[in-house]
Amino acid sequence: MWMRVGTVVLLIVMCLGRSGVAQEIQEKTKELTTIKKEIEEKRRKIREASKEEKSILSQISDMDKKLSGKEKEIVSIGHEIEATDGDITQLEYAIAGVKGRIASKQNEIGKRLVALYKLGEAGYLPVLFSATSTDDIRRRTKYLSAVIYSDRALFASFAADLKELERAMQELKGKKNDLTLLKVNADKKTLDMLREKERRTAYLSGIREKKSSYERALLELETAQKKLSSLIEKLQQEKERKEREALERAKKENKPLTPSHTSVPSGEYFVGLKGRLPYPTNGTVITKYGKGTDPKFANPVYNKGIEIKAPVGSPIISVADGEIVYSDYFMGYGNLIIVDHGDSYYTVYAHAKTLIKRVGDRVKANEKIGTVGDTGSLKGPTLYFEIRHHGNTADPELWLAAK
C-alpha cells in the first residue's frame, strides 16, 4: 500500500512541477508514515503488556472457574440439606411410632400391675395351691409360666422401646444440628459467590470502560478465535482418521460399512435445513455476522458468528441432529459446546452456564444441550453461535428460520 502512495506522490510532483507542493506532499507522506509506525508501536506494546501481565481472558477464565466451583459447592450443600431434611422427617416418623408403642405397652403394663396388686403378697401361690390334682397343678404351672414369660417379654420390649426412643431422639438432635450448620455454610458460600460475581462484574466493567484494556481484550479474542479454528480442525482430522480406520477394518473383514462406522447424520441432511434451522435460544441478536465496528470505541471487528442476548438459564438447543464432540471450558468462549452434523458441518455454542451433554452423546434437533450464561463473555449473559463447514464460518442468520 505504501509503495502505491509513494508512486502517487511522485506522479503528482512530476505533474505539478512545483517544489513547494512537492515538499508539502512529502511532509504529508512522512506524517502518514509516522502515524502507521505509531499504530504498529501501540499494537506491539499491547502485545508485550499481554505477555508480561496475566491475560484478560485468563483472568476471566480464573474467575469463571472460581464461580463455577462455588456454585457446585452450593449445589452440593443443597443436596446435603435435602438429604438431612429427609432423614429428619424419617426420624420424626419413626419416633412417633416408638412413642405410640411405648404408650400402648405402658397401658398393658398398668393392667398387669393392677392384676398383680389384686393377687396380694402371696402372688401366684394361691393359684397353685388351689389345684385339685397333679394334672391341674401341671396345667396351672404351665399357664403361670406363660404369664410370667409374657410379662418379662412385655417389660423387656418396653425397655427396648425406651432405649430406641432415646437413641432416635439423640440422632434427631444431631441431624437438626447438622442441618443448622449446613444452612449456615450454604449462606456463607452464597455470600462468597455473590462477592466473586461482584468482583467479576467490576473487573469486566473496568475492561469495557478503559480503551487500552478493551483493545487488549479484543486482541486476545482474535487469538482465541484462531485456537477455536484449530480445535475444530483437529476434531475433524481425528474423525476422518477414525473413519479411515473403520473403513480399512471393514474391508479386511469383508463386511459392509455400517452406519456406526460413519458420521450420523449425513451432511446432506444438514444442507437441506438451510433457512429452516431453529434459533439455538430465545433472545435478541445483538451482534451480527461479518465485518463491523465495535460500538464502544469504534474498533473494526470481524464476527465469525452471532451473539444472542438472553436471560441466564434460558435453554440452549441443538439446531439439528448431531453428535457432541466438545463440551468443556474454552478460553475466550467460556463453557463451549460443539456439535458435529456430518460432512464437516459443525455448530458452536459458547458462554453457556451449564453443559448438559457430554462428548459422544447423540442429540436430536431442538434437544436441550445447555443453558445460557456469561462464562468467558465481555457482554454479560449471551449465547455466541457459529456455523462452520470445512473450518469456514457462515452467516448463521442465513441458515436460521425467519422469526
Is residue 372 classed as helix, strand or coil in its secondary structure? strand
8 Å CB contact between 352 and 385: no
pLDDT in tens, 282-321: 999 999 999 888 776 677 888 999 999 999 999 999 999 9
Phi and psi based region of residue 382 (left: phi greater than 0; alpha: psi -120 to 50; beta: remaining): beta
> Topology of 56-207 in CATH?
Helix Hairpins (1.10.287)
Q: At what angle do helices 56-119 and 134-209 cross, to 10 degrees?
A: 160
8 Å CB contact between 269 and 286: no
8 Å CB contact between 374 and 293: no
8 Å CB contact between 207 and 213: yes
- Equal fold, 56-207 vs 212-399: no
Q: What does the block give as the cell for 114?
A: 393392677
Share of residues in the chain with pLDDT > 90 (%)? 51
Residues in Cβ contact with 237 at an 8 Å cutoff, skipping those fewer than 6 apart: none
- Please name which of 294, 305, 307, 326 lies closest in space to residue 230, comparing C-alpha atoms: 326
Residue ranges of E strands in 288-360: 290-293, 300-303, 306-309, 315-317, 322-330, 334-342, 345-355
Q: Which residues of the chain have pLDDT under 50?
A: 1-6, 8-13, 15-18, 51-52, 260-263
- Please name which of 64, 385, 376, 43 lies closest in space to residue 219, comparing C-alpha atoms: 43
C-alpha 118/C-alpha 114 separation (Å) is 6
> Which H/E stretch holds residue 367?
none
> Which H/E stretch holds residue 141?
helix 134-209
Q: What does the block give as the cell for 357?
A: 451433554
pLDDT of residue 96: 95
> Which H/E stretch holds residue 282?
none
Q: What does the block give as the cell for 402?
A: 425467519
**CA-CA-CA-CA torsion sign (315, 321, 323, 329):** negative
SS3 content of the chain, % helix, strand, coil (to 5): 60, 15, 20
For the structural domain made of 212-399, what CATH number should be given?
2.70.70.10
C-alpha 351/C-alpha 87 separation (Å) is 38
Is residue 49 classed as helix, strand or coil in its secondary structure? helix
Domain ranges of the chain: 56-207, 212-399
Dihedral, 85, 87, 91, 94 alpha carbons, nearest 10: 120
